[in-house]
Structures are given as C-alpha cells and as structure tokens.
Structure 1
C-alpha cells in the first residue's frame, strides 16, 4: 500500500511540474500570412497580440477594422490549437499513468 501511495505522490509531483511548464511555455498562432500573431501560454491564456501595421488601410477604416477583427480571431484560434497540442503532449502521458494505476479511474 505504501508503494502505491509513493507512486501516486510521484505522479502528483510530475503533474504539478507539467502544469507549471505549461504555464511557462508560450506558443503562437498567426493569421493573414503573419499580419496578426497571437501568443498564448500552454494553458490557453492569451498573453500577447501583435498586429502588423501593414494590416491597416487608412483609406477604409471600417473594412480594415472588420478584417483585423477576423484576423485576430483566427490567430487566437490557431494559437489555441497549438496550446491544445502542447497540453496533450505534456499531460497525455501523465493522464495515462493515473488511469492505469489508481483504482476507480478509467483504465484501472
């Protein structure tokens, strides 16, 4: 029983380390050929947004605003997808470990 508790504690420590690594890791998503770049951390929180001045057409402010809004949303979605892939890579093996070793969880 003590070995099982030690195993659970080690897995919990690995999970905490992976969560911290996700919080510290940033991924980017882009749209419009790089005109808009969104940066999110591994937990999916938007931490930065860059809009290239080339995206702005001073002669058509209304159309430019709509286009930029669309590009921002697309870049955030792209970055969110990258964050989900990062989460799966970091957390997937840990989730399998929990499921295979703790009674009551799927896979046990």
Structure 2
C-alpha cells in the first residue's frame, strides 16, 4: 500500500477497507440467519439461540416432569433450562468467533475497535 515514492496509497487502502466491510456485512448476515441448539439433562431440555445470541425457542420433554413432586420438578426444569441456554450461548459464541474472528483480527483483536454489540 506504499507506492514507489514512499507515500501511502490511499486508493488501495480505501479498496481494502471496502472489501473488509463487505466481508464483515456478509459474516453478520450469516450470523443473523444462524440457529444453534443447546441441550441439558441428556436432551430433556433444549434451547435454540440465533446467531445474535437471542433465545428463540425452549423445548421441555414431558419426561422431565415428575407429577409426584411438582416443586422439585419445577426447580429441576428451571436448572435444566438455564443449562441448555448456557450450552447454546457457548455454541453461538464459537460460531461468532468462527465467522467474525478472521475479520476482527485485522481490526485490532477480538472485536476490539469494531463497536458492534455481541462481537
């Protein structure tokens, strides 16, 4: 990006920045459409999270319910839901690093300087 006279080639720098912006927008679009699932309790509870980290679905298998002990069942299900959401959040974090990592490294580190929530 330095021309023979030792000056910075602003046109090349601008083109590189525009290409990086397109790649970033493409990665963000892929993340927006992505869905990952987290599970807990051997699959009794599952949580689906989108690429932005928003919970979009929670499923509880009826086998998780013990009709003889509703109080304990409620607490167990609450714990399993939290565990499934955390599992899905971990998976979406990995997906975000996979999609955005190569782009953010060129911008000062893992999200440093991007100013984008969640990245």
- 1:6, CA displacement in angstroms? 1.0
Structure ranking higher in helix proportion = 1
- 1:97, CA displacement in angstroms? 2.6
More off after superposition, 52-61 vs 68-77: 52-61
Pair 1:26 & 2:35 matched: yes
Unaligned runs of 5+ in 1: none
2:83 to 67, 71, 74: 74
After superposition, the CA RMSD in angstroms is 1.7
- 1:99, CA displacement in angstroms? 3.5
Provide the rounded CA distance (Å) in 2 between the counterparts of 1:86 and 1:40: 11
Q: Secondary structure at the match of 1:64?
A: helix
1:95 to 83, 87, 104: 104
Q: Secondary structure at the match of 2:107?
A: helix
Unaligned runs of 5+ in 2: 1-9, 115-119
Could you say which residue in structure 1 is the equivalent of 2:53? 44
Q: More relative contact order in 1 or in 2 (CA 8 Å, sep 6+)? A: 1
Could you say which residue in structure 1 is the equivalent of 2:20? 11
- Structure exhibiting the larger radius of gyration computed from Cα positions: 2
Structure 1 segments, 4+ long, off by >3 Å, are none
Normalising by structure 1, we get a TM-score of: 0.89
Deviations 1:24-50 (A, max 9, x none): 011111000000000001111111110
